[in-house]
Amino acid sequence: MSQAPSRPARNTALLPPPLSGRPESPVPSGPSGSSGPSDASGVSGTQPAGAPLSSGTVPAPERAAWAVTSAELLDFVRRAAADEELIASLPLSPDERTWVRLEGPGGSEAWLIGWPPGTGTGWHDHAESLGAFATAAGELTERSLAVRLPSSGWVSLELHEGVDRERRLTPGQGRAFGTHHVHEVLNESTTGHAVSVHAYYPPLPLIRRFSRNGAVLRLEQVELPEDWR
């Protein structure tokens, strides 16, 4: 499936990206959590210290029925990132990320995002959605975990050694990822903006946001679509 990137309806009407709030701000604190199931290698659960925070379980869509694959999302974001007119249409702020919603292929959710120097997302995942993103300008750093986290039943996990990954994406470079991919994306430049295109399918049902202290990853917040739209 292939679809040409569509222009945002209004270049100056900025819509919330798939992470609400100021990306530069610390992740808000949440309650202590519960132990995780043993279906994920590379992590260890911690025992609850109070009422557990919901980990945002959603029903997994039937894979065979998915209209868009991660490879098609990657193709879309790469072509959109190469569209100079589209990239130039994004207003940039000196201090905060800016964004416009795009029409992705096959009903997917897509965003054009501008990153001022030093901004980032914080650790998060995209639940049962596939995703892809590509850099159009500047350079982005992605830090991710090479482990599938339990989808429910935990709030705090201890990561084992060797699960951290890091990659840098320059203009034209992109990457696709599967469900429950945990990462953070940053513009580590001190002087220049970065611009990127992101796409998700199915459209994001929720986002889980995490804080991290060394090897300990803690679920802090579950965001639903009404929180960022």
- SS3 sequence, 171-223? CCCEEEECCCCCEEEECCCCCCCEEEEEEEECCCCCEEEEEEECCEEEEEEEE
- According to DSSP, residue 105 is labeled G
Instruction: Read off the pLDDT of residues 10-61 as tens digits, 9 standing for 90 and up.
Output: 332 333 344 333 333 322 222 222 222 223 445 555 433 333 334 444 444 4
DSSP 35-51: PPPS--TTEEE---SSS
pLDDT at 60: 46
Instruction: Read off the pLDDT of residues 162-205 as tens digits, 9 standing for 90 and up.
Output: 999 999 999 999 999 999 899 999 999 999 999 999 999 999 99
- According to DSSP, residue 18 is labeled S
**HSE on the CB side for 182, CA within 13 Å?**
21
Instruction: Read off the pLDDT of residues 131-166 as tens digits, 9 standing for 90 and up.
Output: 999 999 999 999 999 998 887 888 999 999 999 999
Residue-level length of the chain: 229
